[in-house]
Amino acid sequence: MSRISVSRHRVFAFVTQLAKFGMVGLVGFAVDITVFNLLRATVFSPDAVDSGPIWAKVVSTVLAILANWVGNRYWTFSKDRQAQTLREGLEFFAVSLVGMGIGLACLWVSHYGLGYTSVLADNISSNVVGLFLGAVFRFVLYRYWVFSPTRRAAAAVPAAPAVQTATGSLRLPARPERSLVTER
């Protein structure tokens, strides 16, 4: 295969993965915006709870994170998912919490810092600006950390055994064997 064919294939694979991430994100967005607006209009209304919009956003984002993890694990990054589901889930959740923090920061600055307190202003700050900035952050970290193909390949490399020397001490290998790591 020529270099141009390989480059085109890699670009196509990246664009496909980005499109899948976007579609999963749309489902998460639907969950997020629906739950946020329902909670903001009812139990977390600013009239009933002073920090109601913030709490509504926390609850809606946590539910969206759960929906996104399932979609990204089993579809977007399905061939790169880790064998250690708990670790992967915790890493995904940690990255998502920082992404949520980005959206919350945008909402807080708009609502409390700048005084834009309407439903429209809350939605623009959290569900447009905050969501976009958070999505860029999350995609990069999901792709290169949580679901990184290099992490999966590194985990597949068997550990080199320790060798006992004549003096009885253990000699450990300095680094994994390069020939055992398969490249994609």
Whether 88 and 53 have beta carbons less than 8 Å apart is answered as no
Q: Which two tokens stand for residue 22?
A: 């976007």
Domain presence at residue 28: yes
Q: Which pTM was predicted?
A: 0.67
Q: Report the SS3 class of residue 163.
A: strand
Examine the pLDDT at 177 and tell me if it is beyond 50: no
Q: Point out which residues pair with 171 in neighbouring strands.
A: 163
Q: Which of 112, 89, 103 is nearest to 131 (CA)?
A: 103
Q: How many CB atoms lie within 10 A of CB 137?
A: 16
Q: What tens digit of pLDDT does each residue of 16-50 get?
A: 999 999 999 999 989 989 999 999 999 999 898 88
pLDDT value, residue 151: 73
Is 183 among the domain residues? no
Task: Assess if residue 161 is contained within a domain.
Answer: no
Whole-number pLDDT of residue 39: 95
Strand ranges for the chain from DSSP E: 163-164, 170-171
Question: Does residue 47 sit within a domain?
Answer: yes
Residue with tokens 């390989």: 6
Q: What's the residue count for the chain? A: 184
Neighbours of 168 (CB within 10 A): 6
Residue 152 lies in a domain: no
65-108 pLDDT per residue, tens: 999 999 999 999 888 877 888 998 999 999 999 998 998 899 99
Residue 85 lies in a domain: yes
Range of the domain at 132: 3-147
List pLDDT tens digits, range 108-152: 999 999 999 998 998 899 889 998 999 899 999 999 999 888 876
- Is residue 172 situated within a structural domain? no
C-alpha–C-alpha distance, residues 155 and 72, integer Å: 20
Q: What is the mean pLDDT of the chain?
A: 84
Residue 174 has pLDDT above 70, yes or no: no
The CA distance from 19 to 112, in Å, is 35
Structural domain total, the chain: 1
Q: Is 52 within a domain?
A: yes
- Cα 20–chain centre separation: 13
